[in-house]
Amino acid sequence: MSDVELQEKKVTKHRDIDAEHAGEGPKHALVDMSTIELKAEDLYDKAKVDLESIEIEDVFQLLQSTEGGLTEPEVRRRIDIFGPNKIETEEPNPILQFLSFMWNPLSWVMEGAAIVAIALSNGEGKPPDWQDFVGIVLLLLVNSTIGYVEERNAGNAVKALMDSLAPKAKCKRDGNWIEIESSDLVPGDVIAFKIGDIVPADCRLFDAINVSCDQASLTGESLPVNKKVGDQCFSGSTCKQGEAEGVVISTGANTFFGRAASLIGSDDDEIGHLQQVLSRIGLFCMTTIGVFIVLEILILYAGFRYNYRRGIDNILVLLIGGIPIAMPCVLSVTMAVGAQQLAKHKAIVTRITAIEELAGVDILCSDKTGTLTTNKLTIDIELVKLYSDWASVQDVILFAAYASRTENQDAIDGTIVGTLSDPALARKGIKLLDFKPFNPVDKRTEITYLEEATGKVKRVTKGMTSVIIDLCTRNKTTQQEDALEADVEEFANRGLRGLAVAFEDVPSGDKEGEGTGFELLGLLAIFDPPRHDTKETLDNAQALGVRVKMVTGDQLAIAKETGRRLGLGDRIYPSKILVEGQLPPGTPYKSLDEMILDVDGFAGVFPEHKYEIVKRLQGLGHLTAMTGDGANDAPALARANVGVAVEGSTDAARGAADIVLIEPGLSTIVEAIRQSRVIFGRMKNYAAYAAAITIRVVIGFSLLAFIWKNDFPPFMVLIIAFLNDGSIMTLSLDTVKPAYEPQHWDLTELFFCGSLYGLYQVASTVVFFAIIWETSFFEDTFGVMAFKTDVNAYELHMIIYLQVAILAQALIFVTRSQGFSWMERPSFALMGAFCLAQLISSIIAVYGDWGFTKVKGIEGGWVGIVWVWNIIWYFPMDFVKFFARWALKKIRGNKRPVAAADPSLSRTTSRAESMYSNRTSFLKRAQRKAGLGGKSGKVHVSSNELQKVASIQAHEAGRRLSRAA
């Protein structure tokens, strides 16, 4: 828009808001403006000055700006003062991020084992245990590298998404209009926008021509809001009509959207739910190890009088083999791969642990406008009312289209023309003679046209029903007026907006000539329709055990009509119930919490109401997801266990959300829930496997030492860990059927089943060793080498290594299946990795002559015996699984477990968590100490102050917008 065009079109400039805002118009600042400095602390202090409501001249004076804009040097200075116009995110230092994968309880045990190998395994004329030390460190580095790469890739994908969504802005710098990134705007910048543009920052208009902005992302209202000189436009709203110039009054974290997004922060030391689960699993493993280390010290040193180095080697076996060191990495990779799979379904995960929590969500709170509905007004053809004998439904729509603009349309005109089979029909066969656009006074549009086929001049008008019926003089009857009134009331009760259409002939043929009198033709019903797939989506969500509640800022009648159309239900209540805390008369509910849990939704809500609803549902023990697209949804998105920003969301909503949808419609969230349960199933399968392996290694090798004084070499435990951990990573690609109910961590079941699996595998090794050592069965039957003189023969160590390695890894096929493991096909990746790992194990068993770790290659006969033995012991493991489930069910008295086996295991209520909270704390503290965090010039505001200011602004904005709508 050029300066000349603006000058020609200017109608008003530097005037108060019109009579609609009389008594509420802009005021002068109530303080001496010379005392206000150009800094965030002064400009955003509402006690000193309110840039949103004071005179526009005062705004320019306070911001030290003019309509000619700022100079480039001044912009650079203000960038240092106010920071960029975007929501800042902390970029972790890569080195510290890598080291953080070694900063968790499970890694601490392995790091302790490394210290034992290098420092305590010393003396008696022998060097330190360098082989085990190097192996342990290498295992730690491999796991950390895999986890770091996966997490870094996920972070880069999210950053790329956010960068691709960065909007542009038209800004005047040094007196010239230029296009810049919206992040480069500063307070005092002069910006311009027109129809179709997104407002790049909070601004005050000093020039407005027919401006209408869609602020559904702020208020939840379906209809655009008219804007005039002096009005404030909010960052993220969309210009639906006209063009304007304004001065930027706030950017970044200080915009309305920014304040909402800033509420998503959490305490450094808040513990995430997955971290709690891992801590419990880690505690289980460490307790088991600790008990048997004490027993080994008592039995091996005190009982058997082992020398120092021999006992240390046995303790190292427990430390290395008993800790599922790969667990953080496997779970991280599983979720990272899951995040990539979700991305294929158009869902970008911005907080990786949200996948685990999404699997357990049982209530989905959904915004209406733009989420359940299209946020595009539509004519309901089935509800068109006719009041004339000669006009059909299609005639009424066509006449309404005649009386609509075909260019530079407002929302209503665009809706009507878009209803036609071909928009060109709005002008086909007619010649436009005169057109009167909609204005707030007449509240209607009118067209006078020449019908080319007949050469007759005709006139059509459409608009507010009360205005149109007053214009009508031809064929108007009392019955017709009563019918119109009844239809309008019906529409209002259903939340539909009525638009009347009338027609007259102009016999004189003069566009200014008198007509024969308007005749009422029909009444159109305008509404924001549900998305085509929303009904099916809601049904699918219900089938997955997820209940959907509508939480919208729109009117109660509109919300109820939408609920009825979707089959969601119309038990929807106004938000004042949440504010007053009083139950409506005649309700069957005993408390507000009971009502919130049972009803289908709430209407007319503000951001704090959505936040409160989510908080109360969480307090009742429900895992809650919230979907939305605007700044008004951001606090609730942040509070929810899983916040989902739908396609087309604002920066504030995307910043607060855990999952960002990049495809229209809500169906993606159902697919995300289904996929999250697949991913959760993989994690649960591995957790049960890890607990079983701890029992298997710790108790198994301890019994070998206690019964036969067999000292298994620690280095071979490392080999088992390397091969098993490497192949088990493919579990992230395993085929798992999604559960049809919300998934939760049942640690009692996990530890009980894992212990039985582990004890069964211990029995397989102990019995196998007993037959080898105490009998001559294998030698007599198969003619293989006998071991009768040395219980610590190098070949015997290798036999036990191979037996443990094969059967231990085969356990994953049992834990991953619900029925018989051989009937549920694993993924090709998992099966291939298992075969490769066991091929390597078998090759090592035959050719591994490693004297330093006390093993020696065995003959092929023993390899065959081990494989057959393990196959025989493998199949009954399914019955162990069935028995464990049956026994647990009996113990619990046939009662289904609650959300978690341990009631103290609570879900997180804040989004700002990494996979481990202690990793998060470690990173942030380390960055602060190293001087790597923070940036000068940023605006820092406490969360309490942000919440207070955001609530004030939300209330004030809502009051103004409802008045202007």
List residues with catalytic annotation.
367
Dihedral sign, Cα of residue 265, residue 347, residue 85, residue 14: negative
Can you read off the two tokens belonging to residue 782? Answer: 């198969």
The residue among 390, 384, 387, 386 whose CA lies nearest residue 477 is: 387
**Inter-axis angle of helices 828-847 and 714-728, to 10 degrees?**
160
Question: Is residue 625 within 8 Å of residue 364, measured between CB atoms?
Answer: yes
Dihedral angle of Cα 245, 247, 253, 257, to the nearest 10 degrees: -40
Say if residue 524 is exposed, middle or buried (CB neighbours under 10 Å; 0-12, 13-18, 19+): buried
Q: Write out the H or E segment, with its range, that includes residue 445.
A: strand 444-451
Sequence-distant (≥ 6) Cβ neighbours of residue 680 within 8 angstroms: 355, 356, 359, 360, 739, 743
Q: How far apart are CA 14 and CA 247, in angstroms?
A: 12
- Please tell me the total number of residues recorded for the chain in this structure: 965
Can you read off the two tokens belonging to residue 885? Answer: 């489930």
Can you read off the two tokens belonging to residue 248? Answer: 């930027």
Say if residue 708 is exposed, middle or buried (CB neighbours under 10 Å; 0-12, 13-18, 19+): middle
Look up residue 734 and give its amino acid: D
Question: Is residue 166 within 8 Å of residue 200, measured between CB atoms?
Answer: no
Q: How far apart are CA 431 and CA 452, in angstroms?
A: 7
DSSP letter string, 38-107: SSHHHHT-TTT--TTTB-HHHHHHHTT--TT-B-HHHHHHHHHHH--SS-------HHHHHHHTT-SHHH
Question: Is residue 548 within 8 Å of residue 541, measured between CB atoms?
Answer: yes
Question: Is residue 547 within 8 Å of residue 483, measured between CB atoms?
Answer: no
Q: How far apart are CA 680 and CA 334, in angstroms?
A: 9
Look up residue 891 and give its amino acid: I
Query: Burial code of 576-596, b = ≥16 C-beta within 10 A, e = fewer?
Result: ebbeeeebeeeeeeeebeebb
* DSSP-derived secondary structure letter, 124: T
* DSSP-derived secondary structure letter, 119: I
Q: How far apart are CA 374 and CA 665, in angstroms?
A: 8
Q: How far apart are CA 55 and CA 950, in angstroms?
A: 22
The residue among 292, 455, 260, 371 whose CA lies nearest residue 628 is: 371
Dihedral angle of Cα 405, 410, 411, 413, to the nearest 10 degrees: -10
Q: How far apart are CA 59 and CA 39, in angstroms?
A: 14
Residue 96: how many CB atoms within 10 A of its CB? Answer: 19
DSSP letter string, 726-751: HHHGGGGG---PPPSS-----HHHHH
Q: How far apart are CA 253 and CA 942, in angstroms?
A: 12
Rounded to a whole number of angstroms, the distance between the first and last alpha carbons of the chain is: 27
Q: How far apart are CA 666 and CA 627, in angstroms?
A: 9
DSSP letter string, 247-285: EEEE-GGGSHHHHHHHTT---TTPPPHHHHHHHHHHHHH
Residue the block writes with tokens 């999404």: 358
Can you read off the two tokens belonging to residue 715? Answer: 């280095």
CA distances to 472, 489, 491, 528 from 465, in Å: 11, 11, 12, 19
